[in-house]
């Protein structure tokens, strides 16, 4: 490793300054990261594939800089990309057998924006199959492992992206969120993760799980790096009708007001050490002069139940396209229906099958009103809870997860226990609002220090508020 570079502390802005000074080239930096990947990935299983053309991109950047061009926002920055985001000419499998041989024919919009900003795409990262999971254990490639304790999960479904950043195998990464899949692995591995406002970032080129919830977002070492990556990928896209012009929201108060949801902090489900860390963060805000106010989010205790009705319903619709006819795995049967059964039986893993079956059930005649329609109504009430709260506060503070990273294999055979890991995360997804995971302290388990994340939740298009508060929290961690 180059002695001039400490990858654990190197930031995007520092890298751009080094390029301008000529301290290091993009080619050299890419080689340093590739060496780190080769040394660590065998144990951590963060990357599924390393891109051979990363050096070609780096050399083109060096030629550009040598010609006197100013570095772009992400010039020469090594970025890892979750395996459900399409990159032209590269495989995109969503960590599933059913897409094992699928090669993307176009770039996702976010990938085009990364390229335009000068980023180097290092490879595609491990994930739970079709983003369905909270531990990366549902991947057909095997689980990604937590660099702080390789006997524990990295979180999911963007576990590979989080590990790549945490273990200095990428300076930053893209993940995707449907119900905590960026924030939870960020919290478990000690990095920063942003779930943007729904519609802030184009979903064009993202392999769909639940279309009313899916959103692409950044993982990075620092809040500032996450902010820079978000600034590049955000914005309206004509190829995604759900995307919107970004209209940043600012604080409504002279002094920032921090909300603490009483329903979340008074429950019994939170680990005592995690609770202590969250309370310390709240006290840090108070001592710094922030106004801290208790709030109520009365319908959010129903969020997990609502989520696991709406998401499977959308999963069952989105996964219907994987039939073995046009692309992906294909198994022949005596007739078309038998071919479907064989293809999907061989191609989908247990969690994907479970959600597709559940979703088909809740959408079926006789059950739609009892389950899906009722869940949709409660979803609107949850969104209204947050809207009411953000009339009084600028930001809500909460845990990311009820406990630190759990052991590999501990919950994989108990789906309900796994789902409960997302209890503090899915409310923001259902409401379509932004939320940020910021590392804040550690707890000790089995002689290992495990990171804990503090979650900051903001109003729609309130990412700027979260970044400002997140930087403060980061500086006082």
Beta strands in 282-412 (DSSP E): 291-295, 395-399
Q: Both tokens of residue 1?
A: 């490793």
Q: How many helices (H) and strands (E) does the chain have?
A: 16, 13
Going along the chain from its start, the domains and CATH numbers come out as: 12-233 (3.90.1300.10), 257-296+392-412+421-475 (no CATH)
* pLDDT class of 75 with cuts at 50, 70, 90: very high
328-340 average pLDDT score: 87
Model confidence pLDDT, tens digit, residues 447-460: 999 999 999 999 99
Mean pLDDT throughout 209-224? 98
- Using DSSP's 3-state secondary structure scheme, residue 349 falls into coil
> Which ranges of 220-335 does DSSP label H, i.e. alpha helix?
223-233, 262-265, 272-287, 303-318
Q: Is 434 left (phi over 0), alpha (psi -120 to 50) or beta?
A: beta
Give the predicted TM-score (pTM) of the model: 0.96
CA atoms within 13 A on the CB side of 304: 13
pLDDT surpassing 70 at residue 3: no
- Residue 266: CA count within 13 A, CB half-sphere: 10
Whether 40 shows a pLDDT value over 80: the answer reads yes
Spot the catalytic one: 82, 221, 234, 411. 82
Return the bridge partners of 399, or none: 454
- pLDDT score at 2: 46
Average pLDDT over residues 320-331: 86
Query: pLDDT digits over 227-241, tens only?
Result: 999 999 999 999 999
Within 10 angstroms of residue 321's Cβ, the number of other Cβ atoms is: 11
How confident is residue 174, by pLDDT bands cut at 50, 70 and 90?
very high
Report in angstroms the alpha-carbon separations of 417 from 178, 196, 356, 402, 413: 18, 26, 19, 12, 9
Q: Model confidence over 176-185: pLDDT tens digits?
A: 999 999 999 9
Known catalytic residue: 82? yes
| Mean pLDDT in residue range 416-424 | 94
At 340, the pLDDT band (50, 70, 90 cuts) reads confident
Average pLDDT rounded to a whole number, residues 275-295: 97
> Which residue of the set 181, 202, 316, 437 is catalytic?
181
Tokens of 84: 């459900």
Above 60 in pLDDT, residue 220?
yes
CA distance 365 to 257: 47
Res. 4: pLDDT tops 80 = no
Neighbours of 120 (CB within 10 A): 28
- Predicted local confidence at residue 437, as pLDDT: 98
Q: What's the CA dihedral at 197, 201, 203, 207 to 10 degrees? A: -80
Tell me, yes or no, if 181 is annotated catalytic: yes
> Per residue in 113-144, pLDDT tens?
999 999 999 999 999 999 999 999 999 999 99
pLDDT of residue 250: 85
**Could you say which of 157, 176, 243, 401 is catalytic?**
157
* Count, residues in the chain: 477
What local confidence, expressed as pLDDT, does residue 1 receive? 40
Mean pLDDT across 163-189 = 98
pLDDT band at 280 (very low <50, low <70, confident <90, very high): very high
Going by pLDDT thresholds of 50, 70 and 90, the confidence category of residue 405 is very high
Statement: residue 33 has pLDDT above 60: yes
| pLDDT for residue 252 is more than 80 | no
pLDDT tens digits, 308-320: 999 999 999 999 9
Residues 6 or more apart whose Cβ sits within 8 Å of residue 343: 98, 322, 323, 324, 329, 330, 331
pLDDT at 328: 84
Instruction: Report helix, strand or coil for 24.
Output: coil
Mean pLDDT of all residues in the chain? 95
Per-residue pLDDT for 8 more than 60? yes
DSSP notation for 42-109: HHH--EEEE-TTHHHHHHHHHHHHHTTPPP-TTTT-EEEEETTB--TTSB--TT-GGGTT-B-SS--H
pLDDT, position 267: 75
Q: Would you say residue 324 has pLDDT above 90?
A: no
């Amino acid at each position: 490793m180059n002695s001039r570079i400490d990858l654990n502390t190197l930031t995007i802005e520092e890298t751009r300054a080094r390029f301008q000074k000529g301290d290091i080239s993009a080619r050299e930096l890419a080689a340093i990261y590739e060496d780190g990947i080769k040394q660590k990935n065998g144990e951590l299983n963060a990357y599924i594939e390393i891109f051979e053309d990363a050096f070609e991109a780096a050399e083109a950047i060096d030629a550009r800089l040598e010609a006197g061009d100013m570095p772009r926002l992400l010039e020469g920055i090594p970025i890892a990309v979750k395996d459900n985001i399409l990159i032209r000419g590269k495989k995109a499998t969503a960590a599933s057998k059913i897409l094992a041989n699928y090669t993307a024919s176009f770039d996702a919009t976010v990938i085009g924006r990364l390229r335009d900003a000068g980023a180097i795409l290092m490879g595609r990262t491990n994930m739970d199959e079709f983003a369905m999971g909270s531990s990366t254990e549902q991947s057909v490639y095997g689980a990604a492992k937590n660099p702080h304790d390789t006997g524990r999960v990295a979180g999911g479904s963007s576990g590979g992206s989080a590990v790549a950043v945490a273990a200095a195998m990428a300076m930053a990464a893209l993940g995707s969120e449907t119900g905590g899949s960026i924030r939870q692995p960020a919290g478990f591995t000690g990095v920063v993760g942003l779930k943007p406002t729904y519609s802030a970032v184009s979903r064009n080129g993202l392999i769909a799980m639940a279309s009313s919830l899916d959103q692409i977002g950044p993982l990075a070492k620092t809040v500032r790096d996450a902010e820079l990556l978000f600034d590049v990928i955000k914005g309206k896209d004509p190829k995604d009708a759900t995307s919107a012009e970004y209209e940043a929201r600012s604080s409504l108060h002279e002094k920032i007001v921090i909300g603490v949801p009483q329903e979340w902090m008074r429950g019994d489900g939170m680990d005592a050490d995690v609770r202590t860390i969250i309370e310390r963060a709240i006290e840090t805000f108070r001592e710094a002069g922030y106004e801290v106010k208790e709030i109520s989010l009365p319908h959010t205790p129903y969020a997990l139940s609502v989520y696991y009705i709406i998401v499977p319903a959308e999963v069952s619709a989105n996964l219907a396209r994987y039939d073995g006819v046009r692309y992906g795995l294909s198994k022949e049967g005596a007739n078309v229906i038998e071919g479907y059964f064989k293809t999907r039986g061989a191609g989908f893993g247990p969690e994907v099958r479970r959600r597709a079956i559940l979703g088909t059930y809740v959408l079926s005649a006789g059950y739609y009103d009892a389950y899906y329609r009722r869940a949709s109504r409660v979803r609107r009430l949850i969104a209204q809870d947050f809207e009411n709260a953000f009339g009084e506060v600028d930001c809500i503070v909460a845990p990311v997860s009820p406990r630190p990273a759990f052991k590999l294999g501990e919950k994989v055979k108990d789906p309900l226990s796994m789902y409960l890991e997302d209890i503090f995360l899915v409310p923001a997804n259902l409401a379509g609002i932004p939320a940020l995971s910021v590392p804040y302290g550690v707890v000790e388990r089995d002689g290992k220090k495990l990171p804990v994340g503090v979650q900051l939740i903001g109003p729609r298009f309130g990412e700027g508020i979260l970044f400002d508060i997140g930087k403060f929290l980061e500086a006082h961690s």
